Chains A and B, each alone.
Chain A
Amino acid sequence: MTNPYDIHKVRRDFPILSIQMNGKPLVYLDNAATAQKPERVIRRIHDFYQREYATVHRGVYTLSQNSTWECEQVRDRCRKFLNAPDRDEIIFVSGATEAINLVASGYGRPFISTGDEILITEMEHHANIIPWQQICLEKGARLKVAPINDEGEIILEQFRKFLSPKTKMVAVTHMSNALGSINPVRRMAKLAHEAGAVILVDGAQGVVHASADVRELDCDFYCFSGHKIYGPTGVGVLWGRKQLLEKMEPYQTGGEMIKTVTFEKTTFAGLPQKFEAGTPPIAQIVGLGAALDYLETLGVENIRRHEKEILDYATEKLAAIAGLRIVGRAKSKGGVISFTLDGIHPHDIGTVLDQEGIAIRTGHHCAQPLMQRYGLPATARASFGLYNTRDEVDVLVRGITKVQEIFR
């Protein structure tokens, strides 16, 4: 059987993958932090600035109207990508972090009050902890944390017990950036709704490695960052149910998001502009569109299959290394492997691997409470993208052997 996914061809789409790092071919395994960009995205942004750039939603001149049209095409593109019911539910933000802050503030201010509860999980990224902590402080609400098991999976029975009529908001990650665990979001959404809460899903990782079909997940908010999905930095998407977004307060105010302004009173624009104050990241939005187009050309299912194969291969190879412990062994996992080596600090692992041309992340992965849960100050993390190969996994394994030789 021939594999329709030609990895060598795919790799040629990413100019950076052919560079040398410290005299070795670059092996880029920090995709959970940020993904590299295909030439198509880089060129689209370049061409857009060279020939098409102007402000959006303001100019009566053709250049601005075209620029607006390009951006609004991407809104449609994102609606389709998330299988969202309505294009007005797609809000352009700077990234998943801003999206969560927007909901914490825009939904939390009017709808969360003293004695209410917000439920998150132990595996959340700081970006899905701190905005909720802040709104709890402001409103006198309580932050509750549903536990995970040692494999790094949410314990659904416990999660259910943490829900109560006091729970107003549930905020969970679709996929853990530090462990790779993919959460059973649909079931969690059902439980949240039964308790009368709304649920936000942090899709920063999930959008890359799992299915981000918001109707299938049946969540109320979903968000992701463009740069992790092979698009540019500075742009991301918040999707929310229209009836919720309409009731929410604006997160920021200023230009673009108004209907009429006098010095006495302002009336706000409808969706989505109500949440898009100021000039948006125009070229980045266009670049995000190019990234989604690129993924579609490769075929999302093909990408999943390839990443699963690389994850399985890497898990098998790494697990076979004596003294290596994989942190996070969830049954349902995306392309992330966190690990520790006996007696060797992750930063020393990272430095030695770097000299082999291998880029991995080391540290607490912006998930300090999760690290405390495992009693670890830090881990090393290899995270895979659509362009990584078995050969690169082999280079990683040899690199780890070298680390162990230096520190034996």
Chain B
Amino acid sequence: MIPEPKLSHLYQEVILDHNRRPRNFGEMPDATVRARGVNPLCGDDYQIFLEINPAGEIQAVRFLGSGCAISKASASILTEMIRGKDTGYCDHLKNEFIRFMTQDKVPPAMTEAVGKLKLFEGVKEFPVRVKCATLIWHVLEEALKSLPEKKEGGRS
């Protein structure tokens, strides 16, 4: 059963704040990789730009595009969470978050793993909006996939 939806769970103050003032919003001309993702159903359209150093760490991240409050806040928060982290961690966090958003029963370990992203839990009360929260993480996945493969010992 879908829990009874509550607007206050969906549009939490933190989400509204990121929607109003998205962080790291803008282009990055000299990005190492970039990717774009569109949700054809609602027209949400985002690009992500990553600057990655040879050690595989995200030096800088920016995003650009338009969409609803949930998708924009999710993108803004993503940029804050992955900066300074390595690509293996990003990949792991992406998987955890998508599972967190799409599974009915979420074990405590998973909630812990997604950290700040827990605030998107209220979105699950509005099933059609879940894809708004996960869109930017799929775009990140595309960007990471387009990275040249490491010769050895690459974490994935």
Residues from chain B with Cβ under 8 Å of A377 in the complex: 43-45, 66-67
**A residues 212-247 in Cβ contact with B at 8 Å:** none
User: Are B43 and A348 in contact (CB-based, < 8 A)?
Assistant: no
Stretch in contact with the other chain, from B3-11, B25-33, B96-104, B105-113: B3-11
Residues on the A chain within 8 Å of B44, using CB: 377
> Are the C-beta atoms of A345 and B69 separated by less than 8 Å?
yes
Interface residues of A in 339-398 (CB under 8 A from B): 344-348, 351-352, 355, 362-364, 371, 377-378
Q: Given known contacts A347-B68, A406-B7, A406-B11, what 8 new A-B pairs fall within 8 Å (CB)? A: A345-B67, A345-B69, A345-B72, A348-B11, A351-B7, A351-B126, A352-B11, A362-B42
A22 in contact with B5 (CB, 8 Å): yes
Taking CB as reference atom, which chain B residue is nearest A345? B68
Q: Which residues of B contact A49 (CB under 8 A)?
A: none
Q: How many A-B residue pairs have CB under 8 A?
A: 46
Q: Which residue of B lies closest to A22 (CB)?
A: B5
Q: Is the CB–CB distance between A347 and B10 below 8 Å?
A: no
Residues on B facing A (Cβ under 8 Å) = 5, 7, 10-11, 16, 19, 41-45, 66-70, 72, 126, 129, 132
In the bound complex, CA of A349 to CA of B77 (Å): 22
Cβ distance A363 to chain B, nearest Cβ, rounded Å: 6
With A22-B5, A355-B5: A363-B126 Cβ-Cβ less than 8 Å: no
> Which of the residues B42, B43, B67, B69 comes within 8 Å of A407, measured between beta carbons?
B69
Could you tell me if A363 and B43 are in contact, using CB atoms closer than 8 angstroms?
Answer: yes
A-B contacts, 6 listed (Cβ < 8 Å): A344-B69, A348-B68, A348-B69, A355-B5, A362-B42, A377-B45
Which of these, A351, A352, A378, A407, contacts B19 with CB under 8 Å? A407
In the complex, the chain A residue whose C-beta lies closest to that of B19 is A407
- Which residues of the other chain, B, contact A344 by a CB distance below 8 angstroms? 69
Q: Is the CB of B42 within 8 A of A363?
A: yes
**Do residues B16 and A406 form an inter-chain contact, with CB atoms below 8 A?**
yes
Cα distance, A346 to B10, chains bound together (Å) = 15
The answer to whether A351 and B45 have CB atoms under 8 Å apart is no
- B68 proximity list for chain A (CB < 8 A): 345-348
- Contact B11–A364 (Cβ < 8 Å): no
* Closest chain A CB from B149 CB (angstroms): 35
Q: Which residues of B contact A348 (CB under 8 A)?
A: 11, 68-70
Give the shortest distance, in Å, between A400 (CB) and chain B (any CB). 14
- Contact (Cβ within 8 A) B7 A352: yes
B7 to chain A: closest residue by CB: A355
Could you say which of A351, A355, A371, A406 contacts B43, with CB atoms under 8 Å apart? A371
Cβ-defined contact, A347 with B129, below 8 A:
yes
Closest chain-A Cβ to B67's Cβ sits at a distance in Å of 6
Complex Cα gap A371–B69 (Å): 20
Q: Tell me whether A347 and B132 are in contact (CB under 8 A).
A: yes
